[in-house]
Amino acid sequence: MLDNFQAVIFDMDGILIDSEPLWRQASMEIFTSLGVEMNKELLNKTSALSSLDFCKVWYSHQPWEGMSFEEIDKEIEKRVLQIIEEKDVTIPNVKQTIDFFYNRGFKIALASNSSLYYVNRVLKKLNVEKYFSIVASAEQVENAKPAPDLYLHVANELKVKPEKCIVFEDSIVGITAAKAANMFVITLPAQEDFSKHEFDIADKKIKSFAQLLKELKKSVV
């Protein structure tokens, strides 16, 4: 399998770090302070959107006064980073997976809907900056995920054809973006989402990076 590919692109939230619960916590804190009633179903549906798109959806659900989308975006991000600094939220075996590809000469990149400031803070916290030749944010393209723009941008920066890229994603939004870019997608859904059929559009579905590493090591023996 690996002979067909030249690059690996990682999403961040839910792939490098278990931060989805933190974004939910921070979002609920900020929006509740504005008088917005939080709907868990809508929160789950919007959790993988960029922060600005997230705000737009919630504003259409229940408008508020006092803070702009941009101000809320910054406050949520600030709160998430505070929690990340206090906790170890690394996804188990993701560092070993990055190392596996790095040692075999793959180009490695990161593509996130989050801001570059946030992304770089997290990479520094995890001490994995050296692995990534390209770090890209939705800030750098016209349309965030689920549009393919970000993944196509990364492939262009890597100078690798999209079909030669493996993408790791945990959300339907991200999978949709990567598939639209004609990339091979491996998904690591949240445990409670693993059996949902929406994730079947990915090329491969895994329960853990430990499982994937076993399969990869067998394939190169």
pLDDT tens for each residue of 138-156: 999 999 999 999 999 999 9
pLDDT at 220: 67
How many domains does the structure of the chain reveal?
2
For the segment 160-165, the average pLDDT, to the nearest whole number, is 98
pLDDT value of position 65 = 87
- pLDDT at 6 (0 to 100): 98
Give the rounded distance of the alpha carbon of 100 from its chain centre. Answer: 20
Whether residues 178 and 200 share a domain: the answer is yes
Considering 36, 71, 86, which residue would you say is the last residue of a domain?
Answer: 86
Quick one: 39 and 139 in the same domain?
A: no
SS3 call for 142: coil
Phi, psi at residue 166, to the nearest 5°? -100, 135
* CATH code for the domain in which residue 68 is found: 1.10.150.240
pLDDT of 182 > 80? The answer is yes
What b/e string do you get for 87-110 counting C-beta neighbours within 10 Å, with b at 16 or more?
eebbbeebbebbebbbeeebbbbb
Q: Over the stretch 25-68, which tens digit does the pLDDT of each residue have?
A: 888 888 888 888 877 778 777 876 777 788 888 898 889 988 89
**In three state form, how does the secondary structure of 181-207 look?**
CCCEEEECCCHHHCCCHHHHHCCEECC
Report, as an integer, the average pLDDT of 90-100. 96
76 and 120 share one domain? no
End-of-domain residue from the set 86, 118, 140: 86
Asked if 55 and 142 sit in the same domain, the reply is no
CB 79 within 8 A of CB 87: no
Label residue 20 by pLDDT band (50, 70, 90): confident
Local confidence band at 107 (pLDDT 50, 70, 90 cut-offs): very high
Residue 60: domain span: 20-86
Active-site residue list:
11, 13
Tokens found for residue 55: 């705000």
Say yes or no to pLDDT of 221 above 70: no
Considering the chain, what is the average pLDDT of its residues?
92
Shared domain for 70 and 121, answered yes or no, is no
Instruction: Based on the fold, state whether residues 52 and 120 are members of the same structural domain.
Output: no
Same domain, 197 and 148: yes
2: closest CA among 191, 165, 169?
165
CATH number of the domain that 197 lies in? 3.40.50.1000
Residue 117, SS3 per DSSP: helix
Let me know whether 152 and 186 are in one domain: yes
